[in-house]
Copies of this chain bind each other. A is one copy, B any other.
Amino acid sequence: MTRRIRLGMVGGGNDAFIGGVHRIAARLDDRYELVAGALSATPEKARASGAALGLDPARSYDDFTAMAKREARLKDGIEAVAVVTPNHVHYAAAREFLKRGIHVICDKPLTATLADARKLVKAVERADALFVLTHNYTGYPMVRQARDMVARGALGRIRVIQVEYPQDWLTTAMEREGLKQAEWRTDPERSGAGGCVGDIGTHAYNLAGFVTGLRAESLAADLQSFVEGRRLDDNAHVMLRYADGARGLLWSSQVAPGNENALRLRVYGEAGGLEWAQEDPNLLWHTPHGEPKRLLTRGGAGFTETTGARIPPGHPEGYLEGFANIYAQAADLIEAHREGAAPDHLLPTVHDGLDGVRFVDACVRSSKRDAAWVSLR
């Protein structure tokens, strides 16, 4: 039997986005159990969020330092902590856990400032604990596949890297309309000196490096704040020079209408090219130079990765969520049933099932009779 790792969380309170994502991700393969949290910088919200998640109140903390100290002393204290706060808190939070030997899984970007980042590197080096940064796009099976193909020489020596990450949600001044996600991301105090270049440009930059295995050596950047009054960049154009002579172009934007989350990487070498797009993550295009383009799919022919084997090819990662929607709504129904209620619902019923079996039966009968029409009534 697989053991569950005891996990804590810093940040990720009720109205956060990425904290919930971390929790689902931790649960998906049943390898973690969330047992403690300092879920908000506001004590009341921290407690309410802990209660909503079913944490033992004694382990729902008001601040992460208290949490780190106490959990480190508990016999069954947390073994790992997920740090999912705004960027400027990452270093301080991570440090507290690392120095007590608690593993840290931290959201990106690492920190809000370069100074903090360097301190965090030292803290990790000193610690008897692991530090994992959730550059989550490196977790996609086809991204791993791409990296592996480059490493095995499928593209030959790399020449050109095109990476882009456009979004459109900050096309207008959402930060002045009370959207918390927009507020801290456009605030230099909490995000650091980079706006969209820090928030998503770092993903693009990391992805290019992850897949190609190349280090950038210098860059020339043209950052811009298009929305009036915005204090950080919302569009970034960057030319990159990589080790070994490769050249790159990076575009990140949060003011590009029609782009939801359009991270995309294209890599070209002497012997071929690769293309991957986050919004179609189960696909990877590979063109060996002089041959037809090939479309690799997660789990399909030519796929050599081992990551992401939960479901077969053609079942987009997305299939599980569709299934989960059925389960979640069945849970609602079950709870309603406990209380004697029978709400309307969209879930398939036994009659839908009967209908299906009747359909099969009719198909077989019709086909046996030379495709005669058969009633379904």
Contacts and interface: CB of A to CB of B under 8 A. Distances in A.
Given A220-B220, A348-B135, A356 B108 contact: yes
A357 interface: yes
Contacts of A121: 350-351, 353-354
The A interface, classified by DSSP as helix, strand, loop or mixed, is mixed
B21 A323 contact: yes
A92 interface: no
A202 B348 CA distance: 12
Interface string A214-252: 011111111110100000010111110100010111010
B302 A291 contact: yes
Given A133-B353, A136-B326, A247 B224 contact: yes
A260 B303 CA distance: 14
A63 interface: no
A288 B301 CA distance: 10
Given A132-B347, A219-B366, 18 more contacts: A4-B54, A24-B29, A28-B327, A28-B328, A79-B338, A110-B350, A111-B357, A114-B358, A159-B226, A193-B361, A193-B364, A237-B239, A249-B249, A257-B269, A257-B273, A258-B285, A291-B301, A311-B318
Contacts of A269: 257
A282 interface: yes
Interface in A149-182: 155, 159-160, 162, 164, 167-168, 171-172
A209 B24 CA distance: 32
B334 A216 contact: no
A111 B356 CA distance: 9
B206 A363 contact: no
A69 B308 CA distance: 38
Interface stretch (A8-16, A35-43, A292-300): A292-300
Contacts of A144: 346
Contacts of A109: 353, 356-357, 360
A142 to B, nearest CB: 10
Nearest to A275: B258
A262 interface: yes
A247 B336 CA distance: 38
B371 A373 contact: yes
A139 B323 contact: yes
A372 interface: yes
A66 interface: no
B319 A319 contact: no
B220 A360 contact: no
A317 B278 CA distance: 11
Given A219-B374, A260-B300, A293-B295, A316 B24 contact: no
Contacts of A215: 376
What are the 9 tightest A-B residue pairs by CB atom distance, in nearest-first order?
A260-B314, A110-B353, A261-B314, A258-B287, A317-B318, A194-B360, A25-B323, A139-B325, A28-B324
Given A27-B30, A247-B235, A315-B261, A1 B53 contact: yes
B357 A114 contact: yes
A83 to B, nearest CB: 11
